[in-house]
Amino acid sequence: MESPVKDSPVRPGFHRLEIQKTTWDVPERYTALRAIGSGAYGTVCSAIDQKTKESVAIKKLYRPFQSLIHTKRAYRELRLLRHIQHENVISLIDVFTPDSTLEKFQTFYMVMPFVAQDLGHIMKKRRLTDRIITYLFYQLLRGLQYIHSAGIIHRDLKPGNLAVNENCELKILDFGLARQTESEMTGYVVTRWYRAPEIIFNWMHYSQTVDVWSAACILAEMITGQVLFPGHDSIDQLKKILRMTGTPDSSLVRGCRVKTHSHMCKVFHHKRRKTSRRCFRPWMQML
């Protein structure tokens, strides 16, 4: 919950609160702040926008300029959210800083639509029906096709990054790890259980198919109610994957060439189907 804080002067038009031992300086239009989530990079609060009377989510990053890596991550997420406009992808409503000058600029906040639940929480509470699974996965594919068509790889798809409202409308969240496809990559992305084999091997160049793998893992989890590959570490993760998919053909290994769900869960990424219209066909027929 929020509580007033006294320290350095507050920028005119802003008010200061302490939320989970962290100072928040936000415009006066945003009230009733309440912490709803936190992670390694920041905290998210729900709030009421007094101008629109609607609920919003405000994200504050932890010291976004403390290092070059943190700065790039913050800039990347802000830049992508400013340009994304799609029904199944979260959008940016507002961005602000409480710092009055460029010399004092240390932090900023992002305001997005508020969605009360994510897919992970929903799956813990109830078993999903086939019709709901079909509708949710169709929306996930639509959102993925949109960001992939813009040359973006999300790189951190998981149930906790998929917001679902009371009308079963899905939005993809959290673009802090998203990258453009031409960039050199790193393996330290994607929550382990949803990580494609090429990321486990720490290959420096991969494509949107890593998101397709994650989407397939999410689909399996919605159907069975269980995580598909709950590895304890990277080696255990790979063992669980190969136990289900089988080991690669020796000729493919020597050459170093590395029905919807089977195409999406191919171990070798070049054989894995991307989010093309062929992916949509069976799901559209079931709606």
Residue ranges of the annotated binding site are 60
Task: Show binding-site residues for ATP.
Answer: 60
**First CA to last CA across the chain, in angstroms?**
41
Q: Is 207 exposed, middle or buried (0-12, 13-18, 19+ CB in 10 A)?
A: middle
Chain centroid to Cα 61, Å, comes to 15
**What are the residue numbers of the active site?**
156
